[in-house]
A = this chain, B = another copy of it.
Amino acid sequence: MSGRHVVVRNIARTDPGLVARLAKAGVATVHEAMGRRGLAGTELRPNQINVRIAGPAVTVSSHPGDNLMIHAAVETCRPGDVLVVTTTSPSTDGMFGELLATSLATRGVIGLVSAAGVRDTAELRDMGFHVWARAVSAQGTVKASPGSVNVPVILGGVLVSPGDVVVADDDGVVVVPREEAERTALRAEERIAKEAATRAVLRSGELGVDYYGLRDRLADLGISYVDQA
Protein backbone atom coordinates (compact mmCIF):
# COMPACT_ATOMS: atom_id res chain seq x y z
CA MET A 1 0.00 0.00 0.00
CA SER A 2 3.00 2.27 -0.45
CA GLY A 3 3.17 4.83 -3.23
CA ARG A 4 6.72 3.82 -4.10
CA HIS A 5 7.40 0.32 -5.31
CA VAL A 6 9.69 -1.67 -3.08
CA VAL A 7 10.89 -5.18 -2.39
CA VAL A 8 11.42 -5.56 1.34
CA ARG A 9 14.01 -8.31 1.67
CA ASN A 10 14.15 -9.18 5.33
CA ILE A 11 10.97 -9.30 7.32
CA ALA A 12 10.22 -10.20 10.92
CA ARG A 13 8.26 -13.45 11.08
CA THR A 14 5.99 -14.82 13.74
CA ASP A 15 7.68 -17.39 15.96
CA PRO A 16 7.45 -20.92 14.43
CA GLY A 17 6.17 -22.36 17.70
CA LEU A 18 3.22 -19.99 17.66
CA VAL A 19 2.60 -20.77 14.00
CA ALA A 20 2.43 -24.48 14.81
CA ARG A 21 -0.06 -23.88 17.62
CA LEU A 22 -2.28 -21.82 15.30
CA ALA A 23 -2.05 -24.51 12.61
CA LYS A 24 -3.48 -27.03 15.06
CA ALA A 25 -6.45 -24.79 15.82
CA GLY A 26 -7.61 -24.21 12.25
CA VAL A 27 -9.38 -21.34 10.57
CA ALA A 28 -12.73 -21.29 12.39
CA THR A 29 -11.22 -21.58 15.86
CA VAL A 30 -8.50 -18.99 15.20
CA HIS A 31 -11.10 -16.58 13.83
CA GLU A 32 -13.22 -16.99 16.97
CA ALA A 33 -10.16 -16.70 19.21
CA MET A 34 -9.40 -13.31 17.63
CA GLY A 35 -12.84 -11.99 18.54
CA ARG A 36 -14.33 -13.00 15.19
CA ARG A 37 -11.86 -11.03 13.12
CA GLY A 38 -9.26 -11.78 10.47
CA LEU A 39 -11.29 -13.89 8.04
CA ALA A 40 -10.36 -13.23 4.40
CA GLY A 41 -13.87 -13.41 2.98
CA THR A 42 -15.62 -16.31 1.27
CA GLU A 43 -14.09 -16.12 -2.20
CA LEU A 44 -10.71 -17.75 -1.56
CA ARG A 45 -11.34 -21.43 -2.25
CA PRO A 46 -8.93 -24.34 -1.72
CA ASN A 47 -7.50 -26.25 -4.69
CA GLN A 48 -7.39 -29.44 -2.57
CA ILE A 49 -9.47 -30.96 0.22
CA ASN A 50 -8.70 -31.89 3.81
CA VAL A 51 -5.52 -29.81 3.99
CA ARG A 52 -4.61 -27.24 6.62
CA ILE A 53 -1.51 -25.03 6.57
CA ALA A 54 -0.16 -22.11 8.59
CA GLY A 55 2.87 -19.94 8.02
CA PRO A 56 4.25 -16.41 8.03
CA ALA A 57 3.05 -14.28 5.11
CA VAL A 58 5.33 -13.04 2.36
CA THR A 59 3.13 -10.47 0.63
CA VAL A 60 2.93 -9.41 -3.01
CA SER A 61 1.07 -6.48 -4.57
CA SER A 62 0.87 -6.93 -8.36
CA HIS A 63 -0.58 -5.12 -11.32
CA PRO A 64 -3.54 -7.17 -12.66
CA GLY A 65 -2.49 -9.64 -15.34
CA ASP A 66 1.17 -9.33 -14.39
CA ASN A 67 3.18 -11.75 -12.27
CA LEU A 68 6.53 -9.98 -12.30
CA MET A 69 6.40 -9.27 -8.58
CA ILE A 70 5.69 -12.90 -7.71
CA HIS A 71 9.00 -13.73 -9.35
CA ALA A 72 10.62 -10.92 -7.39
CA ALA A 73 9.17 -12.28 -4.16
CA VAL A 74 10.69 -15.74 -4.38
CA GLU A 75 14.10 -14.86 -3.00
CA THR A 76 12.55 -13.23 0.07
CA CYS A 77 10.87 -16.52 1.05
CA ARG A 78 12.08 -18.96 3.69
CA PRO A 79 11.02 -22.48 4.62
CA GLY A 80 7.56 -22.54 6.16
CA ASP A 81 6.37 -19.30 4.54
CA VAL A 82 3.02 -18.79 2.81
CA LEU A 83 2.96 -16.52 -0.23
CA VAL A 84 0.09 -14.01 -0.29
CA VAL A 85 -0.67 -12.49 -3.70
CA THR A 86 -2.95 -9.49 -4.25
CA THR A 87 -3.61 -7.27 -7.25
CA THR A 88 -4.18 -3.52 -7.39
CA SER A 89 -7.52 -4.11 -9.10
CA PRO A 90 -9.64 -7.25 -9.37
CA SER A 91 -8.18 -10.00 -11.57
CA THR A 92 -8.90 -13.67 -12.14
CA ASP A 93 -5.85 -14.26 -14.33
CA GLY A 94 -3.73 -17.37 -13.84
CA MET A 95 -0.80 -15.52 -12.32
CA PHE A 96 0.58 -18.64 -10.66
CA GLY A 97 1.24 -22.18 -11.86
CA GLU A 98 3.42 -25.23 -11.53
CA LEU A 99 6.75 -23.58 -12.43
CA LEU A 100 6.44 -20.87 -9.78
CA ALA A 101 5.29 -23.54 -7.33
CA THR A 102 8.39 -25.59 -8.14
CA SER A 103 10.58 -22.60 -7.40
CA LEU A 104 8.78 -21.87 -4.13
CA ALA A 105 8.70 -25.51 -3.04
CA THR A 106 12.45 -25.68 -3.60
CA ARG A 107 12.76 -22.88 -1.03
CA GLY A 108 10.43 -24.63 1.41
CA VAL A 109 7.39 -22.41 0.90
CA ILE A 110 4.33 -24.41 1.94
CA GLY A 111 1.50 -22.75 0.07
CA LEU A 112 -0.07 -19.86 -1.79
CA VAL A 113 -3.06 -17.68 -1.01
CA SER A 114 -4.05 -15.57 -4.01
CA ALA A 115 -6.74 -12.95 -4.55
CA ALA A 116 -6.37 -13.69 -8.29
CA GLY A 117 -6.36 -16.91 -10.32
CA VAL A 118 -4.16 -20.01 -10.48
CA ARG A 119 -3.53 -22.58 -13.18
CA ASP A 120 -1.94 -26.02 -13.47
CA THR A 121 -4.34 -26.97 -10.70
CA ALA A 122 -4.04 -30.72 -11.23
CA GLU A 123 -0.23 -30.49 -11.25
CA LEU A 124 -0.27 -28.38 -8.08
CA ARG A 125 -2.29 -31.07 -6.33
CA ASP A 126 0.04 -33.78 -7.66
CA MET A 127 3.11 -32.03 -6.28
CA GLY A 128 1.41 -31.31 -2.95
CA PHE A 129 1.73 -27.54 -3.24
CA HIS A 130 -1.35 -26.17 -1.48
CA VAL A 131 -3.26 -23.25 -2.94
CA TRP A 132 -6.22 -21.08 -2.01
CA ALA A 133 -7.35 -18.71 -4.77
CA ARG A 134 -10.26 -16.63 -6.00
CA ALA A 135 -10.37 -18.31 -9.41
CA VAL A 136 -9.02 -21.13 -11.51
CA SER A 137 -7.85 -19.69 -14.82
CA ALA A 138 -5.25 -20.63 -17.39
CA GLN A 139 -5.11 -16.99 -18.53
CA GLY A 140 -1.46 -16.11 -19.09
CA THR A 141 0.11 -12.98 -17.67
CA VAL A 142 2.92 -10.57 -18.55
CA LYS A 143 5.95 -9.33 -16.61
CA ALA A 144 5.77 -5.64 -17.42
CA SER A 145 4.51 -3.50 -14.56
CA PRO A 146 5.89 -2.65 -11.16
CA GLY A 147 4.48 -3.67 -7.78
CA SER A 148 5.79 -4.40 -4.31
CA VAL A 149 6.90 -7.29 -2.13
CA ASN A 150 6.47 -7.44 1.63
CA VAL A 151 4.35 -4.34 2.06
CA PRO A 152 1.00 -4.43 3.88
CA VAL A 153 -1.77 -5.62 1.54
CA ILE A 154 -5.53 -6.15 1.77
CA LEU A 155 -6.59 -9.76 1.13
CA GLY A 156 -10.32 -10.51 1.03
CA GLY A 157 -11.08 -7.44 3.14
CA VAL A 158 -8.37 -8.15 5.72
CA LEU A 159 -5.08 -6.33 6.26
CA VAL A 160 -2.02 -8.60 5.94
CA SER A 161 1.39 -7.35 7.03
CA PRO A 162 4.48 -9.35 6.07
CA GLY A 163 5.28 -11.88 8.78
CA ASP A 164 1.67 -12.16 9.98
CA VAL A 165 0.40 -15.71 10.28
CA VAL A 166 -1.81 -17.05 7.52
CA VAL A 167 -3.91 -20.08 8.48
CA ALA A 168 -5.78 -21.82 5.65
CA ASP A 169 -7.92 -24.91 5.47
CA ASP A 170 -11.16 -26.15 3.89
CA ASP A 171 -13.07 -23.33 5.62
CA GLY A 172 -11.00 -20.55 4.02
CA VAL A 173 -8.20 -18.26 5.15
CA VAL A 174 -7.63 -16.30 8.36
CA VAL A 175 -4.85 -13.80 9.10
CA VAL A 176 -3.36 -13.31 12.56
CA PRO A 177 -1.28 -10.16 13.06
CA ARG A 178 2.16 -11.04 14.38
CA GLU A 179 1.63 -9.14 17.62
CA GLU A 180 -1.61 -11.04 18.28
CA ALA A 181 -0.26 -14.51 17.55
CA GLU A 182 0.59 -15.51 21.11
CA ARG A 183 -2.64 -14.29 22.63
CA THR A 184 -4.63 -15.86 19.80
CA ALA A 185 -2.88 -19.22 20.14
CA LEU A 186 -3.66 -19.26 23.84
CA ARG A 187 -7.29 -18.37 23.39
CA ALA A 188 -7.66 -20.89 20.57
CA GLU A 189 -6.34 -23.62 22.83
CA GLU A 190 -8.75 -22.60 25.57
CA ARG A 191 -11.55 -22.69 23.05
CA ILE A 192 -10.57 -26.16 21.81
CA ALA A 193 -10.66 -27.47 25.38
CA LYS A 194 -14.00 -25.85 26.01
CA GLU A 195 -15.47 -27.19 22.78
CA ALA A 196 -14.36 -30.71 23.68
CA ALA A 197 -16.37 -30.45 26.88
CA THR A 198 -19.35 -29.01 25.03
CA ARG A 199 -19.16 -31.75 22.42
CA ALA A 200 -19.38 -34.42 25.11
CA VAL A 201 -22.40 -32.71 26.63
CA LEU A 202 -24.20 -32.38 23.31
CA ARG A 203 -23.44 -36.00 22.42
CA SER A 204 -25.11 -37.03 25.67
CA GLY A 205 -28.29 -35.48 24.30
CA GLU A 206 -28.40 -32.32 26.41
CA LEU A 207 -29.75 -29.45 24.32
CA GLY A 208 -27.70 -26.38 23.41
CA VAL A 209 -30.52 -24.09 24.48
CA ASP A 210 -30.15 -25.53 27.99
CA TYR A 211 -26.38 -25.90 28.07
CA TYR A 212 -25.78 -22.37 26.75
CA GLY A 213 -28.64 -20.97 28.88
CA LEU A 214 -30.56 -19.56 25.91
CA ARG A 215 -34.12 -20.18 27.11
CA ASP A 216 -34.31 -16.89 29.00
CA ARG A 217 -33.01 -14.99 26.02
CA LEU A 218 -35.60 -16.55 23.72
CA ALA A 219 -38.29 -15.55 26.20
CA ASP A 220 -36.89 -12.01 26.57
CA LEU A 221 -36.96 -11.63 22.78
CA GLY A 222 -40.68 -12.41 22.83
CA ILE A 223 -40.49 -15.73 21.05
CA SER A 224 -43.58 -17.88 21.69
CA TYR A 225 -43.66 -21.66 21.75
CA VAL A 226 -46.78 -22.84 20.00
CA ASP A 227 -48.29 -26.04 18.67
CA GLN A 228 -49.04 -26.43 14.99
CA ALA A 229 -52.63 -25.56 14.24
- Chain A residues close to B by CB (< 8 Å): 1-12, 27-28, 31-32, 34-37, 39, 42, 45, 49-50, 52, 63-66, 68, 71-72, 74-75, 88-94, 97-100, 102-103, 106-107, 117, 119-122, 125, 135-140, 142-148, 150, 152, 154, 157-159, 162, 169-172, 174, 180, 195, 198-199, 202-205, 207-209, 212, 214, 217-218, 221-228
Contacts and interface: CB of A to CB of B under 8 A. Distances in A.
Contact of A139 (B36, B99, B146, B199): B36
A3 to B, nearest CB: 3
25 contacts: A3-B34, A3-B37, A5-B221, A5-B222, A7-B224, A8-B227, A9-B228, A10-B227, A11-B228, A31-B138, A39-B137, A65-B65, A65-B66, A65-B88, A68-B214, A72-B223, A74-B209, A89-B91, A90-B90, A99-B195, A103-B208, A106-B203, A144-B144, A145-B221, A154-B157
Contact of A71 (B88, B154, B170, B209): B209
B65 A8 contact: no
B99 A199 contact: yes
Given A4-B224, A97-B28, A120-B28, A202 B102 contact: yes
Given A28-B120, A31-B138, 19 more contacts: A6-B224, A8-B226, A8-B227, A11-B228, A27-B119, A31-B139, A32-B140, A42-B136, A64-B93, A68-B217, A71-B208, A99-B202, A106-B203, A106-B205, A137-B172, A143-B214, A143-B217, A144-B217, A148-B223
- Which residue, A6, A12, A171, has most C-beta atoms of chain B within 10 A? A171
Contact of A137 (B100, B171, B214): B171
Contacts of A27: 119, 138
Contact of A154 (B75, B146, B154, B214): B154
Contacts of A65: 63-66, 88-89, 91, 145
B74 A207 contact: yes
Contacts of A100: 208
The 7 closest A-B pairs by CB, nearest first: A3-B35, A146-B221, A28-B138, A36-B140, A144-B144, A103-B202, A138-B171
